[in-house]
Structure 1
Amino acid sequence: MELGNLTRFSEFLLLGLSEEPGLQPLIFGLFLSMYLITVLGNLLMILAVSSDSHLHTPMYFFLSNLSLVDICFTSATVPKMLWNIQTQSKVITYKGCITQMYFFVLFGGLDNFLLTVMAYDRFVAICHPLHYMVIMNPRLCGLLLLMSWIMSALHSLLESLMVLRLSFYSDLEIPHFFCELNQMVQLAYSNTFLNNMVMYFGAVFLGGGPFVCILYSYSKIVASICGIPSAQGKYKAFSACASHLLVVSFFYGTILGVYLSSAVTHSSHSSAAASVMYTVVTPMLNPFIYSLRNKDLKSALKRLLGMAAMKGQIVLGLKKCT
């Protein structure tokens, strides 16, 4: 049997962020806390939007989908890392590694496309406010979301199939806390020219393309805001897109920082530590960024939490009565 076929039945080792035994409890506690905050925060966003009829608009429709994708994006990597630390094991199967990589690329791509769609939504809302509900109708919103899913799924499938053709040595050590695509390609011993080409084209067209669209949308938004005569009108228009702009800055800024730092330092462990920013920290911060700057969302969250507290008191009262 060829070595390439042996990788289908072998196990890989995820080295994680640190191999120091004394740091493992600290890393476990930190990542567990961030993961729980991410899931709870984004889940509250989804519940707040779905429970309040005033928030059933295109902007909040895409925001709730972004929250769902952020939960899935973090869940693709962090639970396995926590499990490995808890069981004091670094093992991940070949199939598990490919599966993790597929979902990581899928939800990472969806984050990218949803941020682009949300930039377009803000462009229409500020540059064409009178035609906003006509342009951003339910059919177009559904179509944009569907296209984002299809393009992300196809890209992720292509990248995964390209990795499946590669051959790896048995008991491969991956200097990361998850099966990152670029790391997997670099660690293969077979020819990776086609894989690198697919990755580069994917980064340019599916990463750079949406980013250019976001920049174009905000250039038009800035030009439109500058044309507003009153200072109050300018502030209101800027507030409408400030949260999204901040999230976009975090998402692209951290990704760019990770790959630039890895290119300069050539350290796999440094790259793994830096990638925590866009895989864990950014999805955790998104709900806070959107809720803190949005009065409607804060009101919906307060009503949701108030209803939950009221139901809890009713349940406790019934238990005391029985």
Structure 2
Amino acid sequence: MTIPRTAAQPGEFTGTAGEHTVTAVPVFDPSATAREAWTRMLGTRFDSASDIVVRDAGGRLYGLVSVERLLAAAPAATLADLADRDPPIVTPGTDQEIAAWHAVRHGESGLAVVDPSGRFTGLVPRRRLLRVLLQEHDEDMARLGGYLKGSATARTAAEESVTRRFAHRMPWLLLGLAGAMASAGIVGSFEDRLAANVALAFFLPGVIYMADAVGTQTEAVVVRALSVGVSIRRLARGESATGLIIGLAMALAFLPFALLYGGDAQVALTAVISLFAACSVASALAMVLPWLLNRLGRDPAFGSGPLATVIQDLLSITVYLFTATLIVG
């Protein structure tokens, strides 16, 4: 039995699987028996002994044997027969949350860490996996609540002075105010058309609200996905298709009401087409903004909501009024 020990440079693997890797673990050849493994482990102190590492002569990972399976095995059984040949494996640079979820989905108590050539470098034990999951869950909840970072920043935001509260909130509120003024200008430029057909004004708030609602749902999905390392490419196709389907469903559901309440087929058609377009665009916009803020190093949940609302409202108003111009005249 050997106990591999490798030393990483301070900060070399911060936030990755390498940061949580332990190297003082039981390691045996595939030919070792269960009796030999158990006997040779007695009296040895390990960083973790929940999994027994089986590796070949070249140092490459052969598999893992859980301590529960080792205890239940026949004394003469070899570790080659007991080993899980397809354990969860990551490299030292894998993001810590992705690594933890990889182990959870595989149903294992530990996570093997190997270098690019497949040579075993250490294990991430269950206690460290649990700590990572709790930490990342805390940060995800803080992000979804609109905070910059994790719970420490959330607490700071709740306890900071009035001056700092004002400084943190005003930029986003001023952005919203600018959007409100711009929307007033857009609506004002169509004053004559709205005055000529008042029914057009009835459906504008509904179109704006539904687009914001669809965008908010998409933002939540995107922020959660970004927090666990899912790429925007993987999300784009599904969310774009979902936005189109939701827009179509909302438009069809709204059509009878628009015909009944608007009393004009052209006005109803304007509302329905605008609703479909606004909901479809909202999904795309809600994907792009969190991704862009994330690439810029800003917390996507803190800024994408206010920013997306302003832009989406302006787009919804513009789409609605220009559609009305084309259809109603």
TM value normalised by structure 2: 0.28
Larger Rg: 2
Higher relative contact order (CA 8 A, sep 6+): 1
Looking at secondary structure, tell me which structure has more helix per residue: 1
